[in-house]
Amino acid sequence: MAIKARPSVYLTFAAAAERWAERPFLHAPADAIGEPLPFEQSFAEAAASVDALRAAYGKQGYGKGHRIGLALDNHPAFFLHFLSLNALGASVVPLNAAMRPEEMAPIVAAADLDAIVAWPKHRAMLDSTQTLSGTSVPVAEPTLANLPRAVRAAGEDETPDTDREAAMLFTSGTTGKPKGCILSNAYFTWVGHFYATLGGHCAFREGEDRILTPLPVNHMNALACSFMAAVMTGSCLIQLDRFHASRWWDTVRETRASVIHYLGVMPAILLQREDETADLAVRFGFGAGVDPRHHARFEERFGFPLIEAWAMTETGAAAWITANREPRHVGTRCFGRAPDHLDVRIAGDTGADVADGEPGELLVRSRGDDPRRHFFSGYYRDPAATEAAWEGGWFHTGDIVKRDAEGNFFFVDRSKNIVRRSGENIAAVEVEGVLMQHASVSACAVLPIEDELRGEEVMALVQTNNGAGTEALARDIFSHCLDRLAYFKAPGYIAFVDHLPTTASQKLQRGEIRSLGRALHAKGSAFDLRALKRGPKAA
């Protein structure tokens, strides 16, 4: 049985460490952290590490009201620093060191960081970032030996621990300007409680499960879902640096994983391989976005269910819907039924509710007196964006879904101008902004295009200054993007067009652009640059 949530993430962990002291808590294979030996700590050992880090941070004056950036990659050390800072009442901002300085700069500028803790290999990138952002945040190594004294004194505010900011995650949204989602302690502990007690196919075994995830800690799935489930059920969290298809099943076997977290791209890739998959201990996979064509095939071949779910950084478990019980409607993009604590509407273009079976935007809120209970606390220093998201008292998700007569929800599309590639949300306007910096580009539009492996790929429609469009120019534009964006944001397809559909006020007609892009792709009129997209190599 899961432990009860305490007022903060740290206090919940402390209760878990007392209950399951000798049970394994954090693990990472040696090849996932670039070390000769794997990382392994029990709950008791992790508690001792957290206490030491807490003392080091506290000695230098860090505490309530401070916010620390963590560029520690997908390493178990990230969670030790998170817990130690949470114990002091401070907040963390996970920083994705795979970003280019141009992408990281607006995040660092907006986050109001008091310090950054990072591996030495990220120092050059962070220096360039701070030059671009005009900030001078001190950078310390994970040992904290060079951690300077906090410039600002720790606060003395009386904010209850449950409401206090525990972390801030940045989401691009549709504007391209990073927005910081403020996540409270209550957000995290409710995520842990909800997942730990979900039941059905997702029933955890107290003190026995081993949760393996390759997902990035700067996303809520790894930061909150798998981590808090491990804390609240006495499970071991196996954190990988990233998804390695070639050794995936060996890792699953060697780590004795019983639960895995996935993105939709992973089943597609694994189905193409002929790896040996005997002796697996996996009871269920948890994730989102599996291709309907692959869902049943994967389960039949590998012998465990892929449990599809829906949530957002902003919603946490306040509006988390899961297909964890039968019938799951495998292969239909079904993500389950709404839990009892959630109110749901599906609204059409006019704002009125649509009938069952008709597509509309998913609107959600917590049932009861507080519709925002356990949601994100708001966008940092952007009350207008927060209230816009909550227009009419409902959180507007931007996702288009359908509901059947039995209450099952089915994902249809996104109304937001977002490309969802391998689990990464890519704002079209961010890519468009970089495209427009190329000397040959006079106008452009970015759209998602369906991709067999990645779910969606980035496609760019480009108008040139002289109307010309060659493969050499497409490759040059791609290289231009790759120099300024994380690799996954660069266009996988580029098609040259004579004009782009716009409104009378010269705004891009996104619906028409999607239709045009898909037609060009279907005709083979786009340059396929996907082979040039390469992720970062393991350290």
The domain limits of the chain are: 9-148+158-401, 421-532
Q: Nearest to residue 106, comparing CAs of 114, 115, 95? A: 95
Please provide residue 437's backbone torsions phi and psi, each rounded to the nearest 5 degrees.
-80, -10
pLDDT at 422: 87
pLDDT at 511: 81
Token pair of 214 as six digits: 């390759």
Query: How many Å apart are CA 322 and CA 339, to the nearest integer?
Result: 8
In 70-225, alpha helices (H)? 77-87, 101-111, 123-133, 185-196, 220
Query: What's the confidence (pLDDT) of residue 538?
Result: 41
Walk along the chain (539 residues) in steps of 10 and give the mean pLDDT of each run: 93 98 98 94 98 98 97 98 98 94 94 98 97 98 97 88 97 68 98 98 97 95 97 98 93 97 89 90 95 92 97 97 98 96 94 93 97 98 96 95 96 80 84 89 91 91 88 96 93 94 67 91 95 68
Cα angle 105, 108, 111; round to 5: 145
Tokens of residue 98, six digits? 């795979």
Task: Check residue 505 and give its pLDDT.
Answer: 47
As its CATH architecture, domain 9-148+158-401 has 3-Layer(aba) Sandwich (3.40)
Alpha helices (H) along 157-258: 185-196, 220, 227-233, 248-254
| Fold of domain 421-532 | GMP Synthetase; Chain A, domain 3 (3.30.300)
**What pLDDT, on a 0 to 100 scale, did the predictor assign at position 272?**
87
Q: What is the pLDDT of residue 503?
A: 58
Q: Which residues pair with 433 in a beta bridge?
A: none
Instruction: Tell me the C-alpha distance between 456 and 424, whole Å.
Output: 10
Cis peptide before 327 (omega within 30 of 0): yes
9-19 and 43-59 helices cross at what angle (nearest 10)?
140
Of 115, 91, 136, the residue nearest 376 (C-alpha):
91
End-to-end CA distance of the chain: 38
Listed residue (387, 370, 369) closest to 378, CA to CA? 387
Predicted TM-score of the model (pTM): 0.86
Report d(CA 342, CA 339) in Å as an integer.
6
β-strand partners of 239: 213
Cβ atoms of 33 and 39 within 8 Å: the answer is: yes
pLDDT at 537: 52
